Amino acid sequence: MRSTRLAPSLVALQAWSDERGSWPSQHEWNAYAKAHGYLGTESLRYHRHQSWLALCAELGGQRSQAKEQAECLAAVREAAESVGPWMTKRQYDAWAQEVPGRPRLGVVTRRCGGRWNRTKALAQLPQNPAINTHIWSEAEMLNALRQAAIALGDPFGEEAYEAWRGAEWPSVETIRMYWGSLNVARAQVALTTQEPGGVVRYTEDDWQQALRDFIGFQMTAAQYHDWAQAHDAPSLQVLRKRAGGFWKALETVGVGEWPKSSMARTSKAPGSSPD
C-alpha cells in the first residue's frame, strides 16, 4: 500500500536539496522529515525500492565530495565518543550498523583516503598500531595448541586460549583461517574437539521452541503499531475487527502460534487492549 505522504515527501526532498545546493545525508533528511511531517529514508526506500544514492541520481541531487568526506569524518568522531579513540575498523562498522543513517566502513574509507588509519588521522584521532605481520607456520600453530592444552587442560575454550596466548602464540582466528575450523586443528594434535556452540546439545523441540519464542518476542503489538503508522498500513483496531486481535491476525496469515505466556504478548501498543 502506497503512503499518501510519498509524493509530497519526494517533492519536498527535491526542493530542499535544490535550496541547500547539495543532496542531504540520510541523517539530515530524517531530522528534516520528522520536523515537517514527511517520510523518512527507511520509508522512502520501502516505497521506491531504491537506495538513497539511487534516489539522489533520479531526482538530480548533487553530492559534494568535500561534504561527503566531512559527513564520514563526523560519523567517525561520533563513534569514537562512544567506542573510544582507539577503536578499530571492525568496531566502527559494528557501531554504524546500530546507529541509523551513519555510513558503513566501506563508504567511510572510500571517501577518506582508502585506509582506516588515514581516515582516523583526518578525523584527528590517534592511529592504531600496525598489526603484527608475523606469518605463523603450520608447526607453530599446532605447537600453540599443544602448549595451551598443557597450561590450560584439555579441552580449553577459545576465550581461555586468547587470555593465555599473549603475543607469543597465534590467535584463534589465525588458526581457524588456516585450518578451516578450530576442531580440524585440534584433531591434528589429538586434542578434544567440541561441538559448534559449546557442549550443550539441543533437541529438535528445544531449538524449534527457542526460535518460536524469539519470533514471538520480536513481533509485538507495539512494534506493529509504530510500523503501521510509518507505512500507512492497517491499524491494530482494523486487525482486531477483521481477525479478532493482533495475535489471531498473525495466526490467520500463517505466522504460527505462541504460548499465552510469551513475553511479546505483554508488550501492548498505546491504547490497545488484550487480544
Model pLDDT for residues 37-69, shown as the tens digit of each residue: 999 988 888 888 888 777 877 776 656 667 778
Mean pLDDT of the chain: 79
Q: Report yes or no: 141 and 185 within 8 Å, Cβ to Cβ.
A: yes
Residue 18 clears pLDDT 70, i.e. is over it: yes
Domain presence at residue 200: no
pLDDT at position 256 is: 55
Domain presence at residue 26: yes
pTM over 0.85? The answer is no
Rounded to whole angstroms, what are the CA distances from 108 to 8, 26, 77, 85, 112? 31, 15, 12, 16, 6
pLDDT at position 199 is: 42
Residues 81 and 114 grouped into a single domain: yes
Domain boundary among 73, 91, 122: 122
Query: Which bin fits 233, alpha (ψ -120 to 50), beta or left (φ > 0)?
Result: beta
Domain presence at residue 14: yes
233: Cα separation from own chain's centroid: 25
Residues 211 and 244 grouped into a single domain: yes
Per-range mean pLDDT, top range of 42-46, 75-79, 113-117: 75-79
Q: Which pLDDT tens digit goes with each residue over 126-173?
A: 887 655 556 788 899 999 999 999 988 888 888 888 888 877 888 888
pLDDT at position 81 is: 92
- Count how many domains the chain has: 4
pLDDT at position 35 is: 92
Residue 263 clears pLDDT 60, i.e. is over it: no
Angle at 267 between CA 261 and CA 272, to 5 degrees: 110
Domain presence at residue 33: yes
Domain presence at residue 130: no
Which residue from 259, 264, 251, 183 is spatially nearest to 217, judged by alpha carbons?
264
Percentage of the chain exceeding pLDDT 90: 11
Residues 55 and 85 grouped into a single domain: no
Domain hosting 46: range is 6-59
Residue 265 clears pLDDT 60, i.e. is over it: no
Lowest mean pLDDT: which of 54-58, 90-94, 155-159, 202-206? 202-206
Q: Report yes or no: 199 and 155 within 8 Å, Cβ to Cβ.
A: no
Domain presence at residue 129: no
pLDDT at position 147 is: 92
Domain presence at residue 193: no
Domain presence at residue 127: no
